[in-house]
Structure formats: structure tokens, C-alpha cells
Amino acid sequence: MAELNTYKLHQELLGAGLSVHGVSSDGEISWVKTPTEAQELTASNIITAHDPAPDQNTVLRDEYSKVGVNTKEMVFALWKKIMQSDPADADALQSLIDQVNSTVA
């Protein structure tokens, strides 16, 4: 079987309305309850059509991380902006995000 992006594939299965817990790297689906034949066929078609390339959001998050934009820094910057009326850190992070967006998009 071809390479799978399990996170992305799981989202594709959920997006098709399939009740799944997850999917393994070999394409084995963990169903919430026993699937119907139609659900199995839908899942099979999704797996066949699956493109393992990361989605745009994943690419952007990886690039943000490379320049120091991560959840921890964002939370602290947001806290300072909202609770202490100090937007400097949030503005600096937004500037980095804008730079990444202009080069990746």
C-alpha cells in the first residue's frame, strides 16, 4: 500500500460522514461500530483517492514553528495583549506569521 497521511486520511473519512475512531499507517480503519457495505466501499474509495501530502494548514504550522511561532508563545502574547493591554508580543508574532504567509502561500 502507498504511503498514508493518517491524520489527513482520518479527517477525510470523518468528512465523508463515516464513524471512525482512526486509521493506522497500513490503512486499517478502527470503526466506531460495524460499518455497512456502503460505508466500507466509501472508505475504500477514500483510501484509494487519498493524497498523503500534508494539507496547507499543516505546512503553515510547520513553517510558523521554524520562525518561533508556537502555541505557547501565542498564548502568552494573547494574554499580555488582552489582560495587560500590551500588544507588542502579539504584534511581533503576527508580523512573523505574515512573513511566512507571504512566502508559503
pLDDT per residue over 66-103, tens digit each? Answer: 999 999 999 999 999 999 999 999 999 999 999 999 99
**pLDDT tens-digit series, residues 17-68:** 999 999 998 889 999 999 999 999 999 999 999 999 988 888 999 999 999 9
Listed by start position, the domains of the chain span 6-49, 56-104
Distance CA 22, CA 28 (A): 9
Q: How confident is the model at residue 2 (pLDDT cuts 50, 70, 90)?
A: low
Residues 6+ apart with CB under 8 A from 76: 89
Q: Are 69 and 98 in contact (CB under 8 A)?
A: no
- The CA–CA distances, whole Å, from 98 to 7, 79, 92, 93 equal 26, 20, 10, 9
Residue reference for cell 490503512 = 27
pTM score, two decimals? 0.62
For 15, list phi and psi in degrees, rounded to 5. Answer: -65, -25
Residue partners of 21: CB distance under 8 A and separation at least 6: 30, 31, 32
- Distance (Å, whole) CA 44 – CA 51: 14
